Structure 1
């Protein structure tokens, strides 16, 4: 979940196998833009909660008939995680 590259912490989360095709991703990497572990933990916790929510939404969307149109919104939300 929390990785350090050089002096900057990053958030990493594996996309569940059932959602990889729908979300066009195998994992999520987000720079936390900090070298401080406590601050990174707080940001990573927030991102973990957001990605969990997005995964739950994606599972429910896949069960609906108009899934393709709603999945694009979730893909955009995943890209927007970079702005944390």
Structure 2
């Protein structure tokens, strides 16, 4: 895992990085993703994880893992079917 210590908020602002994790549950599963999602954001690495559905994410990371990801997400974008709107 990538961990970086001893940096200031000023250095964070200069070095913001965004990483898109498309197909987060299919292509390369990262079991630690829920536990590091918020941490990476705090050091200036913004992770955008994409899933085909909530059920897919729960299957990949478990209900608690999904809830951790959902709660840590600064932005949530939904582009799915209307029938699952009540779960948002």
Q: The TM-score by the shorter chain falls in which range?
A: under 0.3
| Greater fraction strand | 1
- TM-score relative to the length of structure 2: 0.25
- TM-score relative to the length of structure 1: 0.26
| Greater fraction helix | 1
